[in-house]
Structures are given as structure tokens and as C-alpha cells.
Amino acid sequence: MKAWWPLIPLLALLAFSPVASAGGVDPTDFDEPGLEERYRALLHELRCTVCQNQSLADSDAGLARDLRRELRTQLNAGSSDDQIIDYMVSRYGQFVLYRPPFSPATYLLWIGPFVLLGLGFVVLYLTSRGSRQGARTTGVDSAARERARRLLGEGKDV
Amino acid sequence: MKRLMYLLPMGLLLLLGLFLLIGLGLNPRLVPSPLVNQPAPGFELPALEEPERMVGSADFEGEVVLFNIWASWCVSCRHEHQLLVRMADRYGIPIYGLNYKDERRDGLEYLRAFGNPYVWNAHDLEGRVGIDWGVYGTPETFVIDGEGRIRYKHVGPLTWDKVQDDILPLVERLRSETL
């Protein structure tokens, strides 16, 4: 319990270590400068729908490769980021977005954790207040103390 | 009151258990399609059977049809194939196929081996039409009404229960709507 603080750097290391990404971004051959950055940014915004915990950038599934090709085609054709995202959403639904928009369907998703955190604080406050009061009021009476001492004393002989 | 407080964690645990139980029954891989009740995406592709002939979504018009996405490399497509054959034979539902990311030779061989319930098959070698239709796992089956609108989508192999409970009644209803 005492020596938990050396764990902090370890945890920090875990939290910030880059996850090895097995996927690919495919060779790119954009004519215009700037497209490459937009392409890479979009890859991280869009989910691979067959390998659902990976973005298009992480995944090496066939469908992810096809979707990356589609992205490159549309970027080269001069589509804006919003147009491309709309295209994907209209086919695969909002599920394809790695960052779901703040809409009635996702209120719980966005706000839920903070509500839980708040609830946790309330419980923490209530229990800590309760235990402080408890410590003040409940003393052990002397008869019980005497009985405990006897019991412990008997234990020593065995 | 104080006693009841002690039951709270247990209550929360039971609630969590309930959610987990519901979660067990859900399919996490199922992505609800935004295409249902939207006009079917248009396409034109060479037919699998005759590369020179172009086929496409224009052929669906005025009829309630099934559009089935399959491939010879897709094992679960084989599981549902006999169902498709039966639906075409016994119920006279026109089934159109999209041969998805497949070599022509392999696709034709598959049809020879397992039977051909399809009116035609469009050959989507690159999978671009598949993306347009929001395909993410073969097989997928769409029901398209007489006005060219997608009315139903099933991902994964069809089962006889699914066909009997959902697809046949829907086709029946849509047919009476078009008349």
C-alpha cells in the first residue's frame, strides 16, 4: 500500500506507448501536395467495418484496403473531407466514424462517463461523511473490551 | 434505510448483469444499414456469364427482387446457396447476384457446382459497387421494391427461419403494394 508511487512512471509509459500498428496506409501517389496529409487524417477518422476496433489506417483487411483506395480516388477527384465522410456515412452509417457526432443517439455515450464520475463523487462524499460520524459515535464499551482481552489471552495459551 | 443502502451494490450488480445478459443476445458485428428505405445505389457492370453484356440496377425496375452479394471464396455463401435456389424455384422470386471481388473463372465454377438461382450476376471484380452498397461482409441480401427502393437488408447467410419469417412475407407485401 505504501509503495504505490513508483508505479506512476510505469503506468504513464503504458498509457503513452505507441501501439504497434499492423495495418498499412498503402503506397500513395497523390498529384497535389496536401492531399497526403488529408488522406492520413481521414484514415484515422474512419472505422474499418469488418475489423471493428481498428481504423482504416490500422487495418489490413480486404475491405479496408478497398475503402482506402476509394478514399484516394475521391481525394484525387477533388472531394472535400466532408463530402468523403458523408459518402461513407450514407453507406455504412455513423458507425463508420471513429468519433461519433454529438446527437440524441449518442448523448449517453458522450455524457454517461461524466455522470458516473459525478455519481462516484457523491457516493464518496456520503460514505466518508458517514464513516466520520460513525467513528465519533460508536465507541466500544468497556465490558466488550474486557471480553476481547480475555479471549485474546486465552488464545495465547493454545 | 441504512440497511437498504447495503443492498444498493447488489442491485447495481444485478442491473449490470441484466445489461450483460441483453448484450449476449446482440450481434456486435451487425452494422445497421442507413441504406434501408433509401433508393438502391445505381450501377452498371459486365455480367459474370457474358463479359460483353452490361447489367445493372436498371434491370430491377418495376419488380420486387432480391439482390444477393456473394463470392466463390465466401464459405458462408455456400451455406445459404441452396436456400436461394429453393426461393427462386419454388417461390418465383427473381434473384439478382453481385459476384463480389471474385475471379470470373472461380465465380462460374461455383455456379456450375452449386446451381444458379440468379437471373444474372454482375461481376464486381474491384468491389467498388460493393462499397456503394455498403457491403462489409458477404453474403448480404437486399430486398428491393418495385420502385427501386431498398426495403430490407440481411448480413450473413440466410436461414430458412429468416426467409420464412421475414423475407417471404415482405416480398408478398411489397408485391401487393406494387400492383
Q: Is the pLDDT of residue A158 over 50?
A: no
Residue A20: the pLDDT is 46
Tell me the whole-structure pTM to 2 decimals. 0.73
Q: What is the pLDDT of residues A38-91, one digit of tens each?
A: 888 888 888 887 777 788 888 878 888 888 989 998 998 888 999 999 999 988
- More confident position, A9 or A79: A79
User: Do the Cβ atoms of A52 and B29 come within 8 Å?
Assistant: yes
| Alpha-carbon gap: A92 to the closest alpha carbon of chain B (Å) | 5
The arrangement of secondary structure in B35-178, i.e. its CATH architecture, is: 3-Layer(aba) Sandwich (3.40)
Mean pLDDT of A119-147: 80
- More confident position, A114 or A151: A114
- CA B25, distance to chain mean position in Å, is 20
Q: A66: which chain B residues are within 8 Å (Cβ-Cβ)?
A: 101, 126-128, 130-131
User: Do the Cβ atoms of B134 and A89 come within 8 Å?
Assistant: no
Which CATH fold would you assign to the domain A22-101?
Helicase, Ruva Protein; domain 3 (1.10.8)
Query: Which of the four pLDDT bands, split at 50, 70 and 90, describes residue A26?
Result: low
Compare CB distances from B101 to A49, A62, A93 and report the shortest one's residue. Answer: A62
**How much is the ipTM here?**
0.74
Compare CB distances from B34 to A49, A50, A90 and report the shortest one's residue. Answer: A90
Q: Is the pLDDT of residue B171 over 90?
A: yes
Interface residue of A52, A91, A116 to substitute, partner B, most B CBs within 10 Å? A91
Tell me, letter by letter, the H, E, C secondary structure of chain B. CHHHHHHHHHHHHHHHHHHHHHHHHCCCCCCCCCCCCCECCCCEEEECCCCCCEEEHHHHCCCCEEEEEECCCCHHHHHHHHHHHHHHHHHCCCEEEEEECCCHHHHHHHHHHHCCCEEEEEEECCCHHHHHCCCCCCCEEEEECCCCEEEEEEECCCCHHHHHHHHHHHHHHHHHHHC
Of A50-54, B51-55, B141-145, which range is least confident? A50-54
Mean pLDDT of A25-31: 69
Compare CB distances from A91 to B35, B127, B137 and report the shortest one's residue. Answer: B35
- Sign of the CA dihedral with A117 first, then A118, A120, and A121 last: positive
What share of chain A has pLDDT > 70, as a percent? 76
Q: Is the pLDDT of residue B27 over 80?
A: no
Query: Which of the four pLDDT bands, split at 50, 70 and 90, describes residue A22?
Result: very low
Q: Is the pLDDT of residue B150 over 80?
A: yes
